[in-house]
Structure 1
Amino acid sequence: MSQGRHHGGDHAPTRQFGNRVTGVRAPVTRWADGHFGPGLWVLPVLVLAVVVCVDLVGGVWLPLLATGPALAAATNGPRGVLGIGLLAATLGGLLGHQHGIPAGEVAAVVSALLAVTAASGLAGALRGRRERVLAAVRSVAEAAQHALLQPVPETVGPFQVAVRYSAAAAEARIGGDLYALVPTPHGVRLIVGDVRGKGLPAVGTAALVLGVFREAAYDEPDLLAVVGRIERSLARNLGPDDFVTAVVAGCPRPGHLEVVNCGHAPPMLISAGGDVTSVEPTQPAPPLGLRALAGQGPRLQHLPFAVGDQLLLYTDGVTEARDQARAFYPLAAGVARHVSDDPAHTLTAVHDELLTHVGGRLHDDAALLLLRRRSADEQVPAPPRSEAAP
């Protein structure tokens, strides 16, 4: 799945979430109001100027004046198209008269220019309407994404957190990857998962998983019980071919980490010294929703999690991203290059490198969640500076 969100922290372009969902938002052109992109409105005028110069120097080129209003439909609003069309028709009449073209032929050229102007104006108006509809759809999708992938705080107790998410459906900015972090009476718990499939069905399944996880994570003292509740909910609601891969992790007490891997890409444990280790499951387990077919459940892994250590959860949209040579993105090497004591800085660098690797646009949803355990000194805010004596 693909937020160049900046949770904690946003492809074409992706939004960055510092610990919210984001990507760089392309400005919406206000066609109906006649507000155009900077400099674009002048292109049709330049085209008309070039045609006039060529006509004056090299003969009769009047039909090419129709290029002006046609181009204006793509760069201007309806009023701009009308203005360019009237200018083209006026220039056509003047140039035809200068060349001594019979009045009937000049009238035909001017009429053709006015017809092109009318058609271009209609095309511009329809395009403006589509732009407004798209803007409304994107705003609804963004609101849905904020509700589904709730912002993750930058700090939770003794932990720093950062998230980067990019949806492959860049216009909708929402996809099938999921993540959440919940402070509970049983410690901080988090999930990163990937729903089979794409589009609205995948979004619905992601919403189901996150809803059950947020409730169960708070209620269940045992992390395997949290996974079991998600499994039972999916078994009741998913089709026979649907499933969700996921890693569920928790920090029940200082220095201790619990991980349950349900058919997902293995997390990466980053030591305070910068060493990156893949946390392979001790026993392979099926994805969520397929336990009944496999006949076995996941195992709970216990790992040390010292001060300065970091845990990276991610989806396969990151590790399966390919460059032009079809080479996969080397996530472990990328993390080792960019790891720092600031998870947001680390993920920003990794996410930017990932987009560079694929040429600027991901073809699958991609999510990254990085959790770092802070020291006691880092958790104490620095005292305010005293003002210097006059």
Structure 2
Amino acid sequence: MGKREQRRGRRTGEIRNRRFVRALPGLIIVGGLMFDFFTPPAFTAVPLFAAAPLIAAPFFSLAGTIRVGIAALLCVAGLRLYSGTLFQVVPVIELLTVLTVSVLALFINGVVRRSNEQLASARVIAETAMRAVLPTPSDRIGGLYVAARYEAAQADEFVGGDLFSVTDTPYGVRLVVGDVRGKGLDAVETVAVIIGAFREAAEQERSLEGVAQRLERALARESSGLGGLDAAEGFITAALAEIPPGATRVRIVNRGHPEPLLLHSDGALDVLEPTLPALPLGMDLGVWPDRADEWELPAGATLLLYTDGLSEARDADGVFYDPAERLRGRIFPGPEELLSALTDDVRLHTGGVTTDDMALLAVVRPAEGQPDRRTTVKIVGLGGGDG
């Protein structure tokens, strides 16, 4: 099942739930009528009539809640008029009870609507800030083909702590993929600090190790403004890479991040494990000098960096997704096709249920005479079939 089918299934389920919720107050009122009409006078369905506007309040509009309250009142009045007891003490108390509950339902409806409006406003602000911090990179940077993807754990959300950035500098194309511990606006603020520091350092620092140290100092500077980053809660895993102009090698500094993958044009795959493991950024447990490792970057090869939302995705049996195993032996026309197939495959692995965001960044060093990837239409999926 592809992403489109999964989204269609989720939408169908949401539509069914909304229809049931909208029908529930009416069903309760009809049930109250049936109960009151077919039971002895000693039994009353007033609790059901009072419940209908309360159930409508969180889900209906103001006008809809008013209509449900009026319908409940009319039903109680009609039943008591039919039985000839409308102006007795108990029926009057019943009417006042339903009226009071209906007014309370209107108040609840107003509170819920204001809360939803505030939540929607905060979400729009957060998503706008996130998109400003993580703009989609150009598909051609410094002679390399580039594609980036941010996949949120929750549908229609774009707020989290995963980050990526690519920039063309005097020292070559430099890029970073990272994962901030935490979610929401605090994570967006931390992402902004990291991305801002990276863009500045990438232009100024001669070495990739120097860029990593600048990120470390930026976090230390801003820790008080980020809610008090500490070694237990405030660390950030990151992988930084550098591809010098015209070079056939890539340099990587890995700060506690999942190992990048190098996909060769013939389907072979290398896991780029650091020679010396290092602590994440912001984990102030001592001085740890950065060390960049180098690997060959042949023509036509793809460098893939990702966050642990990919490698820690689990299926129904708790088995982790293994991107190296799933990608080994596969060939893709370009980085965009790779990321599309990868995101579809991980959702297939998890059954469409993911618990963490993931950021993906793919960079291809084109072979000589390779056509522009935007003219390529063939897509090879992870299942081995052509798309």
Conservation of the 8 A alpha-carbon contact between 2:136 and 2:148 = no
The residue type paired with residue 108 of structure 1 is: I
CA 1:357–1:74: 2 relative to 1, 3 Å: farther
Aligned-partner Cα distance in 2 for 1:49–1:329: 50
**Structure 1 residue aligned with 2:378:** none
Matched, 1:67 2:51: yes
The residue type paired with residue 296 of structure 1 is: P
CA 1:227–1:84: 2 relative to 1, 3 Å: same
Identity of aligned residues (%): 34
Structure 1 position 336, deviation (Å):
4.4
> Which segment drifts farther, 133-142 or 225-234?
225-234
Conservation of the 8 A alpha-carbon contact between 1:69 and 1:117 = yes
Structure 1 position 288, deviation (Å):
3.1
Structure 1 position 149, deviation (Å):
1.6
CA 1:237–1:87: 2 relative to 1, 3 Å: closer
The residue type paired with residue 306 of structure 1 is: A
CA 1:379–1:339: 2 relative to 1, 3 Å: closer
The residue type paired with residue 204 of structure 1 is: E
Aligned-partner Cα distance in 2 for 1:306–1:270: 11
Matched, 1:371 2:333: no
Conservation of the 8 A alpha-carbon contact between 1:317 and 1:364 = yes
The residue type paired with residue 256 of structure 2 is: G
Aligned-partner Cα distance in 2 for 1:181–1:38: 45
The residue type paired with residue 236 of structure 2 is: V
**Structure 1 residue aligned with 2:130:** 145
**Structure 2 residue aligned with 1:306:** 299
- For 1:1-390, what aligned pairs fall within 5 Å after superposition? 41-58=22-39, 61-63=44-46, 64-101=48-85, 103-104=87-88, 105-167=90-152, 173-198=158-183, 200-238=185-223, 241=231, 242-254=234-246, 255-289=248-282, 293-307=286-300, 309-336=301-328, 340-358=332-350, 360-375=352-367, 376-379=369-372
Conservation of the 8 A alpha-carbon contact between 2:265 and 2:331 = no
Question: What secondary structure, in the 3-state scheme, does the structure 1 residue paired with 2:57 have?
Answer: helix
CA 1:351–1:107: 2 relative to 1, 3 Å: same
Aligned-partner Cα distance in 1 for 2:145–2:329: 19
> Which whole-Å deviations, capped at 9, do the CAs of 1:86-130 have from their partners, x for residues lacking one?
111111111222234463222222222111211111111110000
Structure 1 position 40, deviation (Å):
5.6
CA 1:99–1:292: 2 relative to 1, 3 Å: closer
Aligned-partner Cα distance in 2 for 1:183–1:366: 24
Structure 1 position 69, deviation (Å):
1.4
Conservation of the 8 A alpha-carbon contact between 1:180 and 1:210 = yes
Structure 1 position 165, deviation (Å):
2.2
CA 1:65–1:106: 2 relative to 1, 3 Å: same
Aligned-partner Cα distance in 1 for 2:62–2:294: 63
Structure 1 position 352, deviation (Å):
3.7
Residues paired across the two proteins, number: 349
CA 1:154–1:107: 2 relative to 1, 3 Å: farther
**Structure 2 residue aligned with 1:31:** none
Conservation of the 8 A alpha-carbon contact between 1:224 and 1:300 = no
Question: What secondary structure, in the 3-state scheme, does the structure 2 residue paired with 1:264 have?
Answer: coil
Conservation of the 8 A alpha-carbon contact between 1:190 and 1:250 = yes
Aligned-partner Cα distance in 1 for 2:266–2:251: 21
Task: Note the aligned Cα RMSD (angstroms).
Answer: 3.3
The residue type paired with residue 245 of structure 2 is: R
> Which segment drifts farther, 42-51 or 255-264?
42-51
Aligned-partner Cα distance in 1 for 2:310–2:218: 28
Structure 1 position 294, deviation (Å):
4.4
Question: What secondary structure, in the 3-state scheme, does the structure 2 residue paired with 1:75 have?
Answer: coil
Question: What secondary structure, in the 3-state scheme, does the structure 2 residue paired with 1:74 have?
Answer: coil
Question: What secondary structure, in the 3-state scheme, does the structure 1 residue paired with 2:137 have?
Answer: coil
CA 1:183–1:334: 2 relative to 1, 3 Å: same
Question: What secondary structure, in the 3-state scheme, does the structure 2 residue paired with 1:293 have?
Answer: coil
With normalisation by structure 1, the TM-score equals: 0.77
Q: Which runs of 5+ in 2 are unaligned?
A: 1-6, 224-228, 376-387
Aligned-partner Cα distance in 1 for 2:288–2:338: 39
> Which whole-Å deviations, capped at 9, do the CAs of 1:261-298 have from their partners, x for residues lacking one?
22221101111122332111122233334588244322
Structure 1 position 311, deviation (Å):
1.2
Question: What secondary structure, in the 3-state scheme, does the structure 2 residue paired with 1:322 have?
Answer: coil
* Higher RCO, Cα 8 Å, sep 6+: 1
Conservation of the 8 A alpha-carbon contact between 1:335 and 1:346 = no
With normalisation by structure 2, the TM-score equals: 0.78
